[in-house]
Amino acid sequence: MTAWAATAIRNVQPDAKLIWAVETRCEPVIDRSLLVQQVLSVPRQKWKRNRWSPKTWQEQLSMYLSLRNKDIDFGIDFQGHSKTALMLRLANPKRRIAVRATDAFASRLNPLLSLEPGHIVEQNVVGVKALFGNAEVPIRPLMPPVESKPQVITISVSTSHPPKNYAPENWAKVAKLLLKEGFPVAFLGAAGDPLIDVKGAESFVGKLPLAETMAHVASSSVHLSADTGTGHMAAAYGVPSVTIFGPSRPEEAKPYSPKSVALKVSEDPNSVSPESIVEATIKVVSCHPQNPKESS
């Protein structure tokens, strides 16, 4: 969801050098052709495995302090966790702000914006306006070019936060109902995600790197998911989506697109019936027929 804000910066500062600090596993979602000049790869998974090691702390501080050599003019913390707040503080840009702070330690490290309730994408662009004044939310963010894939309905089978997950047996029922209606279906997921076996549906679960997964999402006729990153990929590439919500608030975190439908009944995402997902999907298909060239 930060890609919209980064694109807003690029739109108002076309000659600026943008450096984006990002977890190593998420690097493929950042465009390096038009949006940013440098990606600072943060090995969070490695640090997390050895979080109490003095060597880990030394590596973190060394990386954060190395940003001082970049002579940074502006710095924004969009995430608001302790790790990002500390990085921004130690990078010591000439001006710095935090769009949000998720804990007390983070709230003390950088000047914190006071925001009205709203969607995260719009709040992030408020942060850009605080530094540059005239920024607007772009219609679509700058994203990496991707290879075109067969146009099917893709289903992301899992999230990184178990309370957000939609049950595999429910996704299986969704796929069967869509296949019965004549729609081709493919499952997407990372290694370790549930393997769903539905006759007639293709499964890429555990088989693709993130960049390839993103290419399949970008080529989809519709993308279905719980509240997870692939829904935001779909929105960024202009792909219609249906997202199932549980504990999160759709008004804050739904994929940011007029082609996005959010379904929520309660804090349990499985209270959304497979039938209602299929109904929403068919409606989205009829309202937003996808041009294969549009998302490339």
Q: Please, what are the domains in the chain?
A: 3-132 (3.40.50.2000), 153-287 (3.40.50.2000)
C-alpha–C-alpha distance, residues 174 and 120, integer Å = 29
Burial class (CB in 10 A: 0-12, 13-18, 19+), 162: exposed
What parts of the chain have a pLDDT lower than 70? 290-296
User: Is 87 within 8 Å of 21 (Cβ atoms)?
Assistant: yes
pLDDT for position 287? 83
Where are the alpha helices (H) located in 82-228, listed in sequence order? 82-91, 104-107, 120-132, 168-180, 210-218
C-alpha–C-alpha distance, residues 248 and 253, integer Å = 7
Q: Work out the angle at residue 37's Cα, subtended by the Cα atoms of residues 40 and 82, and round it to the nearest 5 degrees.
A: 30
Q: How far is CA 101 from its chain centroid? A: 19
What is the largest distance, in Å, between two alpha-carbon atoms of the chain? 59
pLDDT for position 293? 45
Residue 58's H or E segment, with its range, is: helix 54-66
| Model confidence, pTM | 0.92
C-alpha–C-alpha distance, residues 212 and 204, integer Å = 10
Using the Cα atoms of residue 236, residue 239, residue 245 and residue 250 in order, give the sign of their dihedral.
Answer: positive
Classify residue 171 by its DSSP letter: H
What residues contact residue 34 under an 8 Å CB cut-off, 6+ apart? 10, 142
Torsion angles phi and psi, residue 57, rounded to 5: -60, -40
pLDDT for position 290? 65
Give strand pairing partners of 153.
185, 222
Residue 133's H or E segment, with its range, is: none
- Cα-Cα-Cα-Cα torsion 79, 122, 29, 44, nearest 10 degrees, comes to 10
pLDDT for position 291? 57
